[in-house]
């Protein structure tokens, strides 16, 4: 098996990504998933890991959730990807179910395949309905690696591929004064993650989004909230923006929407903009967007995620982890830990990048897999499956304790 594993790694390096293989080998954190289920992924070499990143929420329901697999398997008996030119029962029903979980007025749904595609559509829609080009995003934020989504991001991701389309600018997140200065009559939209993950799981002030929405309203701009990571129960409510008393004009969904089984994303927007696509329904199309099989995965995911029992587990476990991490942080003050987050969207910020990287490696050695925030490597992102149970949580805390003790 070990030889087979090496062969796979070499094949991957040869044909997919030599750079990733080099990096993982350098830090001795190579993981080649084989069997997976619930909170666990098992390397080809037999080592078991608790997945505490979940690919930013893709595996909110754990790996290979039985209900999602059953829904997709049933759908496969009758359906296929579907035809985006035609009217579709699964698409209609999925959109209606999704809309029923949203605040009043957010009734319109365009399906996509990936988060980046759904972001692009949100920006196209904002530009289309306002007739303006200005798009304001947050420094250090992340909305995807393609098209307009890439243009919202930091230079380090896009300056090799320039020039980016005009009209894009960035402001400091959670600085309402900066936003006030940036939004003008040329602004089509402000786009923000509800809790920016790549920035380092940064929590905005309670009133921030409401104030941003008011600034947008004053200037006739739209507020787009990216819920690709915060959606589907990650923060203990169905949508992350529910914590901030704000209703965005457009919401972008991805990752967790697929139940970890079949890719699907969505842009949900207010019905006051519905005329835009009514006039020209073919101005945006996506061949695979909202595949009918994907719609079944999404409908089952929505049904699971909106249940109060499910959401209450997220809140209970989130409180437990926060309490335990804080306690361990106090016990080992040398690591300079600052814990933050809502529900099970948490960031562990350490005193410096090196400490965070060592802790990541020590946790890996203890069988806990997580990653750091791309734009702030001092922060480890802690996003376990939302179905995590107390016995598994205790194993995670034990591993974290061991890692902190070795560093502290």
Ligand X SMILES: Cc1ncc(COP(=O)(O)O)c(C=O)c1O
Binding interface with ligand X (CB under 6 A): 56, 114-116, 119, 142-144, 193, 197, 226, 228-229, 254
The residue (of 115 and 260) whose beta carbon lies closer to ligand X is 115
Q: How far apart are the C-alpha atoms of 207 and 275, rounded to whole Å?
A: 31
Q: Shortest approach of ligand X to residue 142 CB, angstroms?
A: 5
Q: Shortest approach of ligand X to residue 275 CB, angstroms?
A: 27
The residue (of 115 and 259) whose beta carbon lies closer to ligand X is 115
Q: Do the beta carbons of residue 269 and residue 108 sit within 8 Å? A: yes
Q: Do the beta carbons of residue 159 and residue 93 sit within 8 Å? A: no
Q: Shortest approach of ligand X to residue 116 CB, angstroms?
A: 3
The residue (of 144 and 329) whose beta carbon lies closer to ligand X is 144
The residue (of 38 and 115) whose beta carbon lies closer to ligand X is 115
Q: Shortest approach of ligand X to residue 4 CB, angstroms?
A: 30
Q: Shortest approach of ligand X to residue 362 CB, angstroms?
A: 25
The residue (of 345 and 393) whose beta carbon lies closer to ligand X is 345
The residue (of 140 and 144) whose beta carbon lies closer to ligand X is 144
Q: How far apart are the C-alpha atoms of 137 and 130, rounded to whole Å?
A: 17
User: Max CA-CA distance within the chain?
Assistant: 63
Q: Shortest approach of ligand X to residue 289 CB, angstroms?
A: 12
Q: How far apart are the C-alpha atoms of 149 and 48, rounded to whole Å?
A: 35
Q: Shortest approach of ligand X to residue 118 CB, angstroms?
A: 8
The residue (of 197 and 215) whose beta carbon lies closer to ligand X is 197
- What SS3 string covers the chain? CHHHHHHHHHHHHHHCCHHHHHHHHHCCCCCCEEEEEECEEEECCCCEEEECCHHHHCCCCCECCHHHHHHHHHHHHHCCCCCCCCCCHHHHHHHHHHHHCCCCCCCEEEEECCHHHHHHHHHHHHHHHHCCCEEEEECCCCCCCCHHHHHCCCHHHHHHHCCCCCCEEEECCCCHHHHHHHCCCCEEEEEEECCCCCCCCCCCCCCHHHHHHHHHHHHCCEEEEECCCCCCCCCCCCCHHHHHCCCCCEEEECHHHHCCCCCCEEEEECHHHHHHHHHCCCCCCCCCCCCHHHHHHHHHHHHHHCCHHHHHHHHHHHHHHHHHHHHHHHHCHHHCCEEEEECCEEEEECCCHHHHHHHHHHHHHCCEECEEECCEEEEEEECCCCCCCHHHHHHHHHHHHHHHHHHC
The residue (of 91 and 143) whose beta carbon lies closer to ligand X is 143
| Token digits of residue 311 | 């959401």
Q: Shortest approach of ligand X to residue 254 CB, angstroms?
A: 5
Q: Shortest approach of ligand X to residue 58 CB, angstroms?
A: 9
Q: Shortest approach of ligand X to residue 213 CB, angstroms?
A: 19
The residue (of 294 and 329) whose beta carbon lies closer to ligand X is 294
The residue (of 143 and 270) whose beta carbon lies closer to ligand X is 143
Residue located via tokens 């400490």: 355
The residue (of 192 and 392) whose beta carbon lies closer to ligand X is 192
Q: Shortest approach of ligand X to residue 261 CB, angstroms?
A: 15
Q: How far apart are the C-alpha atoms of 31 and 257, rounded to whole Å?
A: 25
Q: Which residue is nearest to ligand X (CB)?
A: 115
């Amino acid at each position: 098996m070990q030889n087979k594993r090496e062969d796979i790694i070499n094949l991957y390096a040869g044909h997919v990504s030599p750079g990733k293989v080099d990096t993982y080998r350098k830090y001795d954190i190579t993981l080649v998933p084989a069997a997976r289920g619930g909170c666990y992924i098992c390397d080809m070499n037999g080592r078991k890991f608790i997945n505490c990143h979940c690919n930013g929420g893709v595996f909110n329901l754990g790996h290979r959730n039985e209900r999602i697999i059953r829904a997709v398997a049933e759908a496969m008996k009758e359906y296929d990807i579907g035809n985006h030119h035609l009217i579709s029962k699964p698409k209609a029903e999925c959109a209606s179910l999704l809309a029923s979980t949203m605040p009043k007025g957010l009734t319109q749904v365009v399906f996509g395949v990936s988060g980046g595609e759904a972001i692009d559509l949100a920006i196209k829609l904002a530009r289309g309905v306002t007739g303006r080009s200005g798009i304001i995003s947050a420094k250090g934020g992340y909305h995807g690696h393609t098209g307009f989504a890439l243009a919202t991001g930091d230079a380090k991701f896009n300056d090799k591929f320039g020039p980016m389309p005009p009209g894009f600018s960035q402001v400091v997140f959670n600085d309402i004064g900066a936003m006030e200065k940036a939004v003008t009559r040329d602004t089509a939209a402000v786009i923000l993650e509800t809790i920016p993950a790549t920035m380092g799981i940064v929590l905005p002030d309670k009133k921030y989004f409401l104030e941003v929405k008011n600034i947008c309203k004053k200037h006739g701009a739209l507020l787009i909230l990216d819920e690709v990571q915060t959606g589907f129960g990650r923060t203990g409510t169905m949508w992350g923006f529910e914590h901030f008393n704000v209703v965005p004009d457009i919401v972008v969904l991805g990752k967790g929407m697929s139940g970890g089984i079949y890719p699907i994303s969505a842009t949900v927007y207010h019905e006051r903009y519905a005329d835009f696509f009514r006039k020209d329904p073919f101005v945006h199309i996506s061949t695979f967007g909202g595949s009918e099989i994907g719609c079944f995965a999404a409908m089952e995911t929505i049904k699971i995620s909106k249940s109060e029992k499910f959401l209450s587990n997220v809140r209970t476990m989130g409180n437990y982890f926060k309490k335990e991490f804080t306690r361990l942080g106090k016990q080992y003050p040398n690591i300079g830990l600052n814990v933050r987050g809502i529900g099970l969207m948490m960031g562990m910020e350490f005193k410096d990048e090196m400490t965070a990287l060592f802790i990541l490696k020590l946790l890996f050695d203890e069988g806990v897999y997580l990653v750091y925030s791309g734009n702030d490597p001092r922060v480890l992102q802690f996003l376990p499956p939302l179905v995590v149970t107390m016995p598994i949580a205790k194993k995670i805390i034990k591993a974290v304790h061991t890692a902190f003790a070795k560093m502290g």
